[in-house]
């Protein structure tokens, strides 16, 4: 059996959407089998209506520049700072989240969505991007994670 990486993706902010994919693609390149389990706010990452408009979480990062903090308090401010962050990533040749999803899918990364979160948040199967291969419960994640070398909750 291949070495496995199991990640719970529970955050839907732009900044916390990156780490799962950076780790997943690095692991897949090392021939690890990877499962990303999208749950709670993390469902937004694989929601076809939201994936391209994820916004960065300013309030929870007190270390951000004062300019950004002020921007976060005015209408559209978060959108503006999020756009700036996307440009910054692009300039450093880092893929967008959508590109990361496509690349991860091509590399064989398993993307699954949490049934309970979908029920609670009223998200339907057709709201999800096609790269999500299944809708499962916590037990399915644990079954995979138990045999994984690395498990992370993001």
Site for a second copy, rule CB under 8 A:
3, 5-6, 8, 10-16, 18-19, 22-23, 26-27, 29-30, 32, 39-41, 44, 50, 54-63, 78, 82, 88-89, 92, 94, 116, 119-121, 137-139, 141-143, 145-154
**Least distance (Å) from a second copy to the CB of residue 63?**
4
10 token code pair: 């529970």
**Least distance (Å) from a second copy to the CB of residue 80?**
12
CA 146 to chain centre: 21
**Least distance (Å) from a second copy to the CB of residue 76?**
11
In this complex, which beta carbon is closest to a second copy, that of residue 39 or of residue 104? 39
Neighbours of 135 (CB within 10 A): 19
In this complex, which beta carbon is closest to a second copy, that of residue 133 or of residue 137? 137
Own/partner pairs for 138-144, CB < 8 Å, 24+ apart? 138/114, 140/112, 141/6, 141/8, 141/35, 141/37, 141/112, 141/114, 144/4, 144/6, 144/35
């Amino acid at each position: 059996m291949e070495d496995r990486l199991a990640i719970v993706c529970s955050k839907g902010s732009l900044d916390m959407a990156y780490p799962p994919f950076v780790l997943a693609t690095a692991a897949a390149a090392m021939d690890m089998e990877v499962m990303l389990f999208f749950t709670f706010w993390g469902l937004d990452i694989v929601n076809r209506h939201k994936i391209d408009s994820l916004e960065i979480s300013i309030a929870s990062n007190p270390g951000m520049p004062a300019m950004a903090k002020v921007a976060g308090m005015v209408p559209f401010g978060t959108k503006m700072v999020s756009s700036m962050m996307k440009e910054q990533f692009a300039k450093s040749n880092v893929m967008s989240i959508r590109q990361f999803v496509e690349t991860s899918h091509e590399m064989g990364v398993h993307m699954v969505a949490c049934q309970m979160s979908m029920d609670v948040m009223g998200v339907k199967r057709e709201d999800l991007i096609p790269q999500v291969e299944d809708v499962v419960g916590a037990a399915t994640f644990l079954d995979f994670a138990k045999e994984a070398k690395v498990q992370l909750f993001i």
